Amino acid sequence: MAFKLLATCALLAIQAWVSLANPLLSSTSDSVSEELVRTPGGLVPKSSVHAIPEGARIHHNSTHVQLIAADGSIIHSATTSKKISTRPKITGTPTSVAPRTLESGYVAYSYWHNTDNTTNGNIATYSTTWTVPPTPQRKDGQIIYIFNGLIPASFDGILQPVLQFGSTPAGGGNYWAVASWYLVGSQTYYTVPAQVKAGQSLTGVMSLMSTTLNGPTVSYHWKSVFTSVPSTAFTLSTTEVFNYAYEALEIYYASGPTDLPTGKTMMSNITISTVGGTHPALNWTAISDSVEGFGMSVVSSSSTNGAVQITYPA
Ligand SMILES: *[C@@H]1O[C@H](CO)[C@@H](O)[C@H](O)[C@H]1NC(C)=O
Ligand SMILES: *[C@@H]1O[C@H](CO)[C@@H](O)[C@H](O)[C@H]1NC(C)=O
Ligand SMILES: *[C@@H]1O[C@H](CO)[C@@H](O)[C@H](O)[C@H]1NC(C)=O
Ligand SMILES: *[C@@H]1O[C@H](CO)[C@@H](O)[C@H](O)[C@H]1NC(C)=O
C-alpha cells in the first residue's frame, strides 16, 4: 500500500483535494499560500488555529466567531461568512472508485442526518464510548484522529471530542491524547491535548446545556468533554442547529498499515437524545476506504446503546 505516495499526490493538488476530502473547508482555498496544518477538520492555515485556555468559551453567530476568556476578555475574534457553507458530497461516491480522496482524511466514518427539524427534535446530547487502540507499531509522523462529532446543516463547522495520535496542530506526539475541538469556517479551536493510554476507556460527550433568545435569534449553548478528562471541556454558543452526527477515523501521513492500530475499534454506548427527551432510531450511513482495507460497519442503530465498528487494514 502506497499511502505516502498517494498523500504526496494529494498535496500537489491541494485545492481539489481540500474540496474533495474535507467536508468543511471547501472555501478556504484562498489560503493555500500560507502554511497549512492538518486538523481533524482537514487542512487549515496555521495562523487560524487557536488554543482554548481553561474556562474560555467560544461564541459563534452568523457573522462572527470569538474566543472569550473566563474573565470575559476577547482572546480572538474573526468574521465568518455564510458563503463558505458549500454543501459537500458526503454520500454517493463509491470508495472503490475514489480511494485517493479517502487516502488521507476520513477513511472510515458513519454519519446520521437528523431530519427532524422541529425544536423538540433537535439533538440535545450525543455521546460515544471507545477504547484507546494499541499504539501503532511504527511511528513516522502519522496523524490519527478518532472522534464523534456534530455538524450543522450548513457544514461550516464541527464540534468534536477527539482522540489523537501524533503531533497535531494542537500538540501531542507519539502517544494517544484527547482534546475537544471546534472548527468553523477556516478557524480552529482546541483544548490542550491530555495524554491517555492504550486500553483506556473514553467517553466523548457533547451536551446542549441551554438555549437563549436574542430577538428572533436562538443561541444554543453546548459543552464538549471527555468525561474522565475535565481539561478537555469547553463551552460553545452557536446560532446553528447541529443536525448531523458523525463517528469517524481520520488519518494523515500514514505510510502503511503499521502506522495504524491493529484490529478494530468499537465506537459503542452511542447515545443521542433530543430536546424533547426522545431517542430517535439512528439511520447511520457507513462509508470506508475498503480498497485500502478500512472498514466501518453499523453494529447497532440504537440511540441508547448503539455501536459502529472501525476495522483497520491488516
Ligand atoms: C455576532 O456576534 C458579534 C460579537 O458578539 C456581534 O458584534 C454581532 O453583532 C453578532 N452578529 C449578529 C448577526 O448578531
Ligand atoms: C424542515 O424540514 C422540512 C422537510 O424536510 C422542510 O420542508 C422545511 O423547510 C424544514 N424547515 C426548516 C425550518 O428548516
Ligand atoms: C456510556 O455513556 C454515558 C454517557 O452518555 C456514560 O456516563 C457511561 O459511563 C458510559 N458507559 C460506559 C460503560 O462507558
Ligand atoms: C436511511 O438513510 C438512507 C441513506 O441516507 C435513505 O436512503 C433511507 O431512506 C433512510 N431511511 C430512513 C428510514 O430514514
- Taking only the tens place, the pLDDT of each residue in 180-197 is 999 998 899 999 999 999
**Amino acid, res. 199:** G
How many domains is the chain built from?
1
Residues whose beta carbon lies within 6 Å of some atom of ligand 1: 59, 61-64, 66
Domain that holds residue 181: 2-311
pLDDT at 225: 98
Handedness of CA 172, 173, 178, 182 (dihedral sign): positive
Residue 225: strand, helix, or coil: strand
Whether ligand 4 lies within 6 angstroms of the CB of 301 is answered as no
Determine the average pLDDT of the residues in 30-38: 69
From 57, 59, 62, 63, the mutation candidate for ligand 1 (largest count of ligand atoms within 8 A of CB) is 63
* Cα(61) to centroid(ligand 1), Å: 6
Q: Which residue has the cell 432510531?
A: 281
Of the candidates 313, 295, 77, which has an alpha carbon nearest to the alpha carbon of residue 184? 77
In the predicted model, what is the mean pLDDT of the chain? 84
Strand runs labelled E in 114-193: 123-131, 143-152, 157-165, 176-184, 187-190
* Cα(38) to centroid(ligand 4), Å: 32
Whether ligand 4 lies within 6 angstroms of the CB of 285 is answered as yes
Kindly report the pTM of this predicted structure. 0.86
pLDDT tens column, 94-138: 333 233 333 568 889 999 999 999 999 999 999 999 999 999 999
pLDDT at 116: 95
- Categorise residue 256: left if φ over 0, alpha if ψ from -120 to 50, beta otherwise: left
Q: 272 and 125 in contact (C-beta within 8 Å)?
A: yes
Of the candidates 220, 86, 101, 105, which has an alpha carbon nearest to the alpha carbon of residue 156? 86
Q: 232 and 180 in contact (C-beta within 8 Å)?
A: yes
